[in-house]
């Protein structure tokens, strides 16, 4: 029944879907489809450049993170509320946790392994970029049971029950796109794995800055994804040994 309801919400075809939103316990869940890319790029000369940039919020709306009530395992998770850190923005408007990557091509490179921990009933990091075909390891560092569930393209692609501290599970994330990760037991827990079509990505720091090194020369589309602001694209040209400066202004 649940699949039928979700399927009925799909309207049209998307390169990356607009978020379809449903309510599930504590969270308004955003089911996001996969990223598309057009092909591969070779770099016969071996020449590269660097992308440096910053992500800034310039809108007038006062953004507020919601509080999520802690309902169980309070001896580990704490008492009261957890703050849902959708927007981490400095007093200067500098935006943390935006993922920036080259959108329209795939590159061959050795696969990665990233680690997502569950500690004090929170996922860390909140946003984790990873290139397609790489392994994501999920670790329970709490002395209580967690059940990490990943949803991509309207499908559950993994569900790991980890009943005690120290348990680890791994999954290969094959499709470029956004994987929403929640805990089926602790409804306030959330993380995002942003699966990119290539290893040329970065996530913005607390001061909004990001840097992508060793990018093959060429002209590309640079995509930004943020869980609250959505998506934005900019064109960028990489010249040998040069720095391409980019500023994303979010509203």
pLDDT tens digit string along 125-159? 999 999 999 999 999 999 999 999 999 988 999 99
Q: Rounded to two decimals, what is the model's pTM? A: 0.84
Structure confidence by residue, pLDDT tens digits, 195-249? 999 999 999 999 999 999 999 999 999 999 999 999 999 999 999 999 999 999 9
Q: Identify the CA nearest to 15 among candidates 39, 35, 30.
A: 35
User: Please, what is the Cα angle at 246 between 238 and 223, to 5 degrees?
Assistant: 80
- Mean pLDDT value across residues 106-129: 92
> According to the model, what pLDDT value does residue 21 have?
40
Residue 244, number of CB atoms within 10 A of its CB? 18
Q: In CATH, what number does 2-250 get?
A: 2.60.40.420
Whether 105 and 220 have beta carbons less than 8 Å apart is answered as: yes
**Per-residue b or e along 81-95, where b marks 16 or more CB atoms closer than 10 Å to that residue's CB:** ebebbbbbbeeeebb
Continuous H helices in the chain:
2-8, 74-77
> According to the model, what pLDDT value does residue 203 have?
98
Tokens 């943020």 belong to which residue?
Answer: 226
Domain boundaries, the chain: 2-250
Whether 118 and 139 have beta carbons less than 8 Å apart is answered as: yes
Whether 241 and 49 have beta carbons less than 8 Å apart is answered as: yes
SS3 state at 218: strand
SS3 state at 122: strand
The answer for residues whose C-beta is within 8 angstroms of residue 57's C-beta and 6 or more apart is 63, 89, 93, 94, 95, 229, 249, 250, 251
Q: Which two tokens stand for residue 195?
A: 């699966």
Tokens 């006062």 belong to which residue?
Answer: 62
Distance CA 220, CA 236 (A): 5
């Amino acid at each position: 029944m649940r699949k039928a309801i979700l399927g009925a919400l799909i309207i049209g075809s998307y390169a990356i879907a607009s978020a379809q939103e449903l309510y599930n316990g504590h969270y308004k869940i955003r089911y996001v489809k996969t990223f598309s890319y057009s092909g591969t790029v070779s770099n016969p000369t071996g020449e590269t450049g660097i992308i440096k940039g910053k992500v800034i919020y310039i809108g007038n709306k006062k953004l507020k993170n919601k509080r999520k009530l802690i309902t169980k395992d309070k001896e580990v998770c704490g008492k009261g509320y957890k703050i849902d850190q959708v927007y981490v923005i400095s007093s200067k408007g500098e935006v943390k946790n935006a993922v920036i990557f080259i959108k329209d091509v795939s590159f061959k490179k050795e696969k990665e392994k990233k680690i997502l921990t569950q500690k004090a009933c929170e996922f860390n990091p909140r946003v984790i970029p990873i290139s397609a075909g790489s392994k994501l390891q999920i670790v329970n560092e709490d002395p209580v049971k967690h059940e990490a569930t990943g949803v991509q393209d309207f499908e559950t692609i993994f569900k790991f029950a980890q009943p005690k501290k120290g348990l680890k599970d791994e999954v290969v994330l094959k499709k470029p796109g956004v994987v929403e990760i929640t805990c089926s037991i602790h409804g306030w827990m959330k993380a995002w794995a942003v699966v990119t079509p290539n290893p040329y990505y970065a996530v913005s720091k607390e001061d909004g800055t990001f840097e992508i090194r060793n990018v093959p020369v060429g002209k590309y589309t640079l995509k930004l994804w943020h869980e609250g602001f959505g998506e934005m694209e900019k064109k960028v040209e990489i010249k040998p040994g040069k720095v391409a400066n980019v500023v994303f202004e979010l509203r």
